[in-house]
Amino acid sequence: MATLNIDAKSGEIVLGDGLRTQKLHPLWLRERSLNADVFDAINHQRLYEHSDIPLDLSVLSADMTEKGILPHFLSGNKRPK
């Protein structure tokens, strides 16, 4: 059974399967996000520049869904609204 945890120090998602673990960095995850709120509905281009992603980005929580991992991000000390 797969496990999903958040590394509190690095803000990374840690996936495990009992034999090995894989860490997913928050910046890597954010750059590859397929969420509808980051793409233009008509031309499907990103609505931000990669340089706009804050370097202190971390994963606050994440859910495993049928479609994959859904991360919830936190930037710096700002709490989500």
Res 38: pLDDT: 81
pLDDT number for residue 3: 93
**Which amino acid is residue 20, in one-letter code?**
R
Question: Which string of b and e fits 64-80 if b means at least 16 CB within 10 Å?
Answer: eeeeeeebebbbeeeee
Predicted confidence at residue 76, as pLDDT, reads 53
pLDDT score of 59: 92
Q: What is the pLDDT of residue 20?
A: 96
| pLDDT for the residue numbered 81 | 39
pLDDT mean values, one per 10 residues, the chain (81 residues): 90 94 93 81 87 88 89 64 39
